[in-house]
């Protein structure tokens, strides 16, 4: 059984984001899949999605104060996924996703790479600046081995959030690196829509967005988000996007064929 998890807090993303992610995972990960969503809003989720209650952590107040100082809101809620025992009857690693990603290819290599390590892709901006930070849209970890990702912030929430400058992905990747427990997911397998698919002006005005060969996951961090990219995005000169047909195929059409229009 392969365990896959996501977290959904608030109402920014509707249940269709979870359901389409679940469909993409089960279509692209070989073998039986257990898919969980940590949320306080479980309505509208497919019956096969297992709901975990989104906890209010005992260290929420000092963590929140540090996040205010860093001018971030809720950015560290994901650390609740790292608490040992939070997923009942868990054996082995967990593959996690943010909701603003689309699965476009086999996840088997990402699942099986670097056993025992926390795995993330190198963040695009941080790499350009020569920094080692991982990107948090796709992450593989094992709560039995990496419980310190939860325990360290539970002990010193304000200090850990301040050190990470309010960034969950900086906290997670640097903490794993400090413990000798980190590996980068190959960059060609996890790509950015705005960095890797669009191209800079005038290219993004003259051609449709491209899906890079070998891409398994496309991340929609920042703008445009998936619905905007499907229809075509005109909110920015640099991020202008013509309508993206392959995105509609992978994110909407395939999920509806898989789950039915009621769920996707």
Local confidence pLDDT in tens for the 264 residues of the chain: 999 999 999 999 999 999 999 999 999 999 999 999 999 999 999 999 999 999 999 999 999 999 888 888 767 899 999 999 999 999 999 999 999 999 999 999 999 999 999 999 999 999 999 999 999 999 999 999 999 999 999 999 999 999 999 999 999 999 999 999 999 999 999 999 999 999 999 999 999 999 999 999 999 999 999 999 999 999 888 999 999 999 999 999 999 999 999 999
What letter would DSSP give residue 145?
Answer: T
Residue 31 belongs to domain spanning? 2-186
Which of 151, 186, 221 corresponds to the end of one domain?
186
Q: What residues have CB less than 8 Å from 187, skipping those under 6 apart?
A: 121, 122
* Same domain for 227 and 167: no
Do 41 and 99 sit in the same domain of this protein?
yes
Q: Write down the pLDDT at residue 70.
A: 82
Given a contact cutoff of 8 angstroms between Cβ atoms, the answer to whether 124 and 197 are in contact is no
Tell me which residue has tokens 């491209």.
210
pTM of model > 0.85: yes
In a domain, 71, yes or no: yes
Total domain count, the chain: 2
pLDDT at 99: 97
pLDDT at 75: 73
Q: Characterize the bridge pairing of strands 118-122 and 134-141.
A: antiparallel
Q: Are residues 28 and 134 in the same domain?
A: yes
Please give the C-alpha separations between residue 241 and each of 102, 199, 227, 256, in angstroms, as whole numbers: 17, 9, 12, 24
Quick one: pLDDT at residue 92? 94
């Amino acid at each position: 059984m392969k365990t896959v998890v996501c977290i959904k807090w608030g109402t920014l993303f509707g249940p269709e984001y979870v359901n389409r992610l679940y469909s993409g995972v089960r279509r692209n990960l070989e073998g039986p899949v257990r898919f969980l969503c940590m949320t306080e809003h479980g309505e509208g989720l497919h019956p096969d999605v297992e709901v975990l209650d989104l906890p209010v952590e005992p260290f929420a107040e000092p963590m929140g104060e540090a996040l205010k100082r860093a001018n971030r809101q809720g950015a560290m809620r994901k650390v609740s996924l790292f608490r040992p025992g939070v997923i009942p009857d868990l054996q082995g690693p967990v593959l996690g996703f943010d909701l603003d990603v689309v699965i476009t290819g086999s996840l088997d290599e990402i699942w099986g790479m670097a056993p025992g390590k926390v795995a993330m892709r190198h963040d695009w901006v941080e790499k350009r600046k020569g920094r080692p930070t991982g990107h948090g849209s796709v992450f593989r970890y094992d709560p039995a081995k990496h419980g310190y990702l939860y325990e360290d912030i539970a002990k010193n929430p304000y200090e850990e959030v301040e050190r990470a400058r309010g960034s969950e992905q900086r906290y997670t990747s640097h903490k794993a690196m400090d413990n000798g427990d980190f590996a980068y997911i190959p960059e060609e397998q996890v790509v950015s829509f705005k960095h890797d698919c669009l191209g800079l002006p005038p290219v993004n005005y003259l051609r449709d967005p491209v899906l890079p060969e070998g891409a398994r996951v496309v991340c929609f961090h920042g703008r445009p988000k998936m619905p905007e990219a499907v229809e075509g995005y005109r909110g920015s000169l640099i991020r202008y996007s013509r309508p993206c047909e392959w995105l509609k195929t992978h994110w909407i059409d395939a999920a509806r064929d898989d789950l039915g229009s009621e769920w996707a």
